Amino acid sequence: MSTLQRYRKRPDQAVTAIRLTLDTPGLHYNKWGAEQHCKPGDWLVDNGGDVYSIDADSFKKTYQKIEPGRYLKTTPVWAEKAHTNGRIKTKEGESEYQAGDFIVFNHPDRTDGYPVAETLFLAMYEPDE
């Protein structure tokens, strides 16, 4: 039996984002315990001071522009609490997580996933019933 539950981003949790449309091979950065890669066309996101990149296709399918430079994730996610420490492969690289963090997926088949610390997850998401 699956432990995934459906959640929705709280309406007050918009992010600031810009698309990397420069003539560049992208950029590499270290975050979440591993090297991440932002490809041309991906989005650079400031989520309350936490800065990271989001794959262009994922961003297009899950975020909606609410005003210039501000976007809200409008599609549901499926998430479950991690019972052990681990790593998950993401579209940007790999990310470490700790027991108690939430593993979040953009699709119910557990694809396009990423970890979020429990306190951040509970502040950003609410059950979508």
Q: What is the pLDDT of residues 36-67, one digit of tens each?
A: 999 999 999 999 999 999 999 999 999 999 99
Phi, then psi, of 32 in degrees rounded to 5 = 60, 35
Q: Which helix (H) or strand (E) holds 80?
A: strand 77-81
Within 13 Å and on the Cβ side, how many CA atoms surround 71?
A: 20
Q: What is the pTM of this model?
A: 0.87
- Compute the distance between CA of residue 42 and CA of residue 8 in angstroms, rounded to an integer: 22
Q: What is the pLDDT of residue 2?
A: 61
Distance of CA 92 to the CA centre of its chain: 10
Phi, then psi, of 41 in degrees rounded to 5 = 95, -15
Q: What is the pLDDT of residue 129?
A: 77
Phi, then psi, of 123 in degrees rounded to 5 = -75, -30
Q: Residues with Cβ < 8 Å from 1, sequence gap 6 or more?
A: none
Residues of the chain under the 70 pLDDT cut: 1-2
Q: What is the pLDDT of residue 50?
A: 93
Q: What is the pLDDT of residue 1?
A: 45
